[in-house]
């Protein structure tokens, strides 16, 4: 009897040992596997603390599938700003060391932006701009705006309103709003801070200081003008070169108006207003402080009959149309661009901007206002 009991005991003991043994082996395997995952994640460069969080979120396999490190993911986990549905986005968006960075990713998702849009938003905007974008409701075509490097998030509301009123393309909307064209001419006027710059923009939204006179004015060669005019030295040289070249082609291209002071411009504008009324005068004459002639960078030219109004019909103009950019000039108030420049077509009014800018403007059929916004008015 005793022998039977001790045999049973022995069997039970054996079974217990086997179970305990199996359990131990199972634990060892599990631990080994966990260690393997841990090691793999360490190898990818994740910190131990991050790995704990990855485990807690049950994401080991997902992270291992990506098989790469993401600083954005790590930071979202370490700062407790991780949202599981945004897992893929954390991987796609390169980390930026900014307190608003991860909150901005999460907020953009909540606002309804899709993955592609969010990736583009982070490609083109910084976190300060994104924070401002988030003041707006979802803009479903946001990617059409932000790709232009002259997009200004501060003008977003104006772009949206202007877009509703016009059928212009996105880049036209952005350019024209940045120029100020969503408001009437001569509104929101800014004073020009650097009137000496060769690329200074003077238009109906930007005025020169009343007292501004360029400090390097010099008279243009008497043979090349109708009456004495002054231009800035670089412009004078360019014009003389161009006019001489025209002459060697049997043409007679002469300057008739160059630098004009604020007071001269004021008198001229007031005279035109007295003749034609303000509305009409504004189409062809600049208000004082808004004339390019005050910069010493602009010149009006005529042919042999010395008439501005007839200039378009002259051989001189035909030649000029082909060659003006080679000397650094642009036709500042082109045909069919009055809605941008605010001035009727003036084939005779040349503005100096230098050869490379003049060539670009000619090639792309732009006004200087558009060029300035797209290339010079950087954020
Ligand atoms: Zn002029």
For residue 15, the model assigns a pLDDT of: 86
CA 298, CA 257: separation in Å to the nearest integer? 8
DSSP 99: T
Q: What is the DSSP letter of 373?
A: I
- Give the pLDDT confidence of 335-346 residue by residue, as tens digits: 999 999 999 999
| CB of 230 closer than 8 Å to CB of 257 | no
User: Helices 101-111 and 115-124 sit at what angle, rounded to 10 degrees?
Assistant: 140
Q: Give the span between the Cα atoms of 128 and 75, in whole angstroms.
A: 19
Tokens describing residue 248 = 């060697």
Q: Specify the pairing of strand 346-352 against strand 298-302.
A: antiparallel
Q: Collect all residues with Cβ–Cβ distance below 8 Å to 86 and sequence separation of at least 6.
A: 76, 105, 106, 109
pLDDT digits (tens, 9 = 90+) for 267-323: 999 999 999 999 999 999 999 999 999 999 999 999 999 999 999 999 999 999 999
Q: What pLDDT, on the 0 to 100 scale, is given for residue 6?
A: 79
Question: What's the 8 CA to ligand 1 centre distance in angstroms?
Answer: 117
Residue 15 Cα, ligand 1 centroid: separation in angstroms? 107
Query: What Rg, from alpha-carbon coordinates, does the chain have?
Result: 36
CA 193 to ligand 1 centroid distance, Å: 22
Task: Check residue 377 and give its pLDDT.
Answer: 84
Cα of 52 vs centre of ligand 1, distance in Å, is 72
As given in the structure block, the two tokens for residue 274 are 């007295």
CA distances from 57 to 44, 51, 167 (A): 18, 10, 49
Q: Is position 306 annotated as part of the catalytic site?
A: no
44-96 per-position pLDDT tens digit:
999 999 999 999 999 999 999 999 999 999 999 999 999 999 999 999 999 99
Dihedrals φ, ψ of 190, to 5°? -110, 145
For residue 22, name the pLDDT band (cuts at 50, 70, 90).
confident
CA–CA separation, 155 vs 296, rounded Å? 32
Q: Are 74 and 101 in contact (CB under 8 A)?
A: no
Say if CB 304 and CB 252 are below 8 A apart.
Answer: yes
> 374 alpha carbon to ligand 1 midpoint, in Å?
24
Q: Is 340 exposed, middle or buried (0-12, 13-18, 19+ CB in 10 A)?
A: buried
Choose the catalytic residue: 74, 75, 292, 346. Answer: 346
Q: What percent of the chain has pLDDT over 70?
A: 97
pLDDT at 28: 74
Domains of the chain: 148-183 (no CATH), 190-376 (3.30.1380.10)
Residues by chain with Cβ below 5 Å of ion ligand 1: 300, 349
CA of residue 138 to ligand 1 center, whole Å: 46
Q: What distance in angstroms lies between residue 349's CA and the mean position of ligand 1's atoms?
A: 4
Which residue in the block uniquely carries the two structure tokens 């009055």? 338
Please state, in angstroms and rounded to a whole number, the distance separating the CA atoms of residues 160 and 139.
Answer: 9
The three-state (H, E, C) secondary structure of 155-218, written as one string: HHHHHHHHHHHCCCCHHHHHHHHHHCCCCCCCCCCEECCCCCCCCCCCECCEECCCCCCCCCEE
Quote the ligand 1 centre to 341 CA distance (angstroms).
13
Question: Which residue carries 């004078």 as its tokens?
Answer: 236
Distance 250 CA to ligand 1 centre (A): 25
- Interatomic CA distance for residues 331 and 318, integer angstroms: 13
Helix (H) or strand (E) segment spanning residue 256 = strand 254-257
Structure tokens of 66?
Answer: 């990506």
């Amino acid at each position: 009897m005793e022998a039977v009991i001790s045999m049973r005991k022995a069997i039970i003991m054996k079974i217990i040992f086997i179970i305990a043994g199996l359990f131990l082996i199972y634990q060892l395997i599990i631990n080994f596997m966990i260690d393997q995952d841990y090691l793999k994640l360490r190898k990818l460069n994740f910190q131990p603390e991050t790995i704990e969080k990855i485990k807690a979120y049950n994401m080991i396999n997902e992270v291992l599938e990506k098989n790469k490190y993401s600083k954005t993911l790590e930071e979202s986990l370490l700062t407790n700003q991780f949202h599981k549905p945004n897992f893929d986005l954390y991987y796609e968006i390169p980390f930026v060391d900014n307190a608003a960075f991860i909150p901005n990713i999460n907020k953009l998702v909540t606002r309804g932006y899709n993955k592609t849009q969010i990736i583009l938003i982070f490609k083109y905007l910084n976190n300060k701009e994104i924070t401002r974008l988030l003041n707006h409701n979802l803009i479903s075509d946001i990617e059409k705006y932000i790709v232009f490097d002259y997009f200004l998030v501060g003008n977003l509301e104006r772009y949206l309103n202007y877009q509703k009123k016009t059928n212009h393309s996105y880049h036209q909307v952005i350019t024209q709003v940045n120029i100020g064209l969503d408001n009437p001419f001569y509104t929101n006027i800014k004073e020009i801070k650097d009137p000496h710059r060769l690329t200074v923009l003077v238009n109906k939204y930007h005025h020169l200081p009343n007292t501004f006179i360029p400090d390097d004015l010099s008279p243009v060669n008497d043979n090349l003008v109708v009456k004495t005019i002054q231009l800035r030295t670089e412009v004078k040289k360019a014009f003389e070169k161009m006019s001489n070249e025209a002459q060697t082609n049997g043409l007679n291209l002469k300057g008739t108006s160059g630098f004009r002071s604020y007071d001269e411009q004021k008198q001229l504008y007031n005279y035109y207003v007295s003749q034609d009324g303000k509305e009409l005068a504004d189409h062809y004459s600049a208000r004082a402080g808004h004339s390019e002639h005050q910069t010493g960078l602009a010149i009006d030219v005529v042919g042999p009959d010395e008439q501005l109004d007839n200039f378009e019909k002259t051989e001189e103009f035909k030649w000029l149309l082909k060659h003006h950019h080679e000397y650094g000039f642009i036709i500042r108030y082109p045909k069919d661009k009055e809605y941008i420049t605010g001035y009727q077509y003036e084939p005779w009014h040349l503005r100096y901007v230098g050869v490379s800018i003049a060539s670009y403007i000619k090639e792309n059929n732009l006004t200087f206002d558009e060029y300035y916004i797209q290339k010079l008015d950087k954020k």
